Amino acid sequence: MRIVNKKLTIKEFEAYVSGKDFGQIKPGWLVIHHTWKPTKEQWQGSKSIQGLKRFYESKGWPVGPHLFIAEDGIWLFTDMDQVGIHAGKGNALWKHKRTGRIFSGYTNSSLYRLMDYSIGIEVVGNYDYQLWSGKTYDNAVGAIKILMKYLQIDTLKIKFHRDYSSKSCPGWAINKDWLFKQLSGYVLKNPINDLKVYDFWKKADPIYANLSADSTQSNFDAQFKLKNTGKQDIQIQQLALAVHDNNNKFITDLTKPETKKPRYLRNLRLKPNKSLHFQFSETNLTKPGKYQVIAKALINKQWFHLQSLNFKVEPVRFSDMDSIQAMRQVIFEIENKLKNNFGSKLTSTEKQKIIDWVKSKRY
């Protein structure tokens, strides 16, 4: 196991983090721990670090936590540009390159691609019955604030080891309400509070289902504008318009009319008092029912629903269609029912009979 084994002051740690190259994927959240043992009284600096290294090696771990916070300083252990082992499923998120399956934890398999990972912070001592104190308190709070600042991590992304296990870690005396109060003044404001959606409109009612899934004609469209009402730039990784059903289940993202591909606005920096326009986008909804169209933003690797509009898709009305449309709709509906119920499709003869029937009805 390779470790950094270097002790820093708070000032030195800030200089270290500010100049650190974390690579293409920066850590997206923090996990707070306590060592339990060694306690504050048992801590012996570098000697304790070497002892912890041997302990993790005996468990077969190739890496460990990233930081140990003690009375004598902030100790660098596993390099922060690497995924560590410290919190089970809270270590990292991976995606299987072939199947797309998401895996939480630690792996060194080349079959997985890293999506996100955490920084493991071990506060030296047993905090089941007491709070952090002395230089340990100063170093722990200082280190967390610095990582929040330079990695753009808010309090939603500060986790405890016990969030991923049945352990008390980082100690029963430490709770998030208390910790977040200690971080006041450095806690990043949730950026979506400063994002205001306006001129958000959708296609006017009534909206009728289009039974043909491969139709080139959409039956629903929407667009919106977005303004930064705050005082700081807001970095938006992605903007999208999505349709969800009445149970908030994702159905589809709206597309560009000219290409029929999803419209995404990526890597945006929205300055204070500036606005942007998410332009006219459309989709084809084949099933009647209640839906909502949602303006959503990906910020700090987390999706936020900015605003939504409810709407209803009515059953198709054949009286509004010409005969060719009606034929296609009826054939599509019957084929779908046959496929769902019997796993079969219409023959060309059966299709012709339907066409003749539709013509006779003169829809």
- Which residue type does 38 have? P
Check whether residue 169 and residue 199 sit in a common domain. Answer: no
Contact 148/184 with Cβ under 8 angstroms? no
Range 7-18 average pLDDT? 96
List, for residues 45-97, the tens digit of each pLDDT value.
999 999 999 999 999 999 999 999 999 999 999 999 999 999 999 999 999 99
Spatial distance between the Cα atoms of 295 and 224, rounded to a whole number of angstroms: 8
Whether residues 335 and 225 share a domain: the answer is no
287 and 335 both lie in a single domain: no
Q: Are residues 336 and 308 in the same domain?
A: no
- In-domain check, residue 357: yes
CATH value at residue 215: 2.70.50.60
d(CA 6, CA 68): 10
pLDDT tens digits, 84-127? 999 999 999 999 999 989 999 999 999 999 999 999 999 999 99
Where does a domain end: 144, 169, 188?
A: 188
> Which range of residues forms the domain containing residue 43?
6-188
Are residues 330 and 238 part of one domain? no
Burial class from Cβ neighbours inside 10 Å (0-12, 13-18, 19+) for residue 75 reads buried
164 and 47 belong to one structural domain: yes
pLDDT tens readout for residues 32-47: 999 999 999 999 999 9
Cα–Cα distance, 292 to 294 (Å, whole number)? 6
**Are residues 127 and 57 part of one domain?**
yes
Instruction: Assess whether pLDDT exceeds 80 at residue 317.
Output: no
Taking only the tens place, the pLDDT of each residue in 146-160 is 999 899 888 889 999
The answer on pLDDT for 338 being more than 80 is no
Is residue 1 a part of any domain in this protein?
no
Find out whether 183 and 145 touch, Cβ atoms under 8 Å.
yes
Nearest C-alpha neighbor of 53 from the set 29, 81, 85: 85
- Same domain, yes or no, for 132 and 216? no
DSSP 3-state of 356: helix
Residues 176, 48 share a domain: yes
- Domain stop point among 162, 188, 214: 188
Q: Look up the pTM and report it.
A: 0.57
Residue 342 lies in a domain: yes
Average pLDDT, the chain: 88
The yes-or-no verdict on residue 214 having pLDDT over 70 is no
Q: Could you tell me if 151 and 226 lie in one domain?
A: no
Domain contains 174: yes
Q: What is the CATH number of the domain that holds 61?
A: 3.40.80.10
Please check whether residues 10 and 113 belong to one and the same domain.
Answer: yes
Average pLDDT over every residue of 286-308: 89
* pLDDT tens-place string over residues 219-269: 999 999 999 998 878 889 899 999 998 888 899 999 999 999 999 999 898
Lowest mean pLDDT among 14-23, 67-76, 81-90, 186-195: 186-195
**Statement to judge: residues 251 and 301 lie in one domain:** yes
Per the DSSP assignment, residues forming a β-bridge with 177 are none
The domain total for the chain is: 3
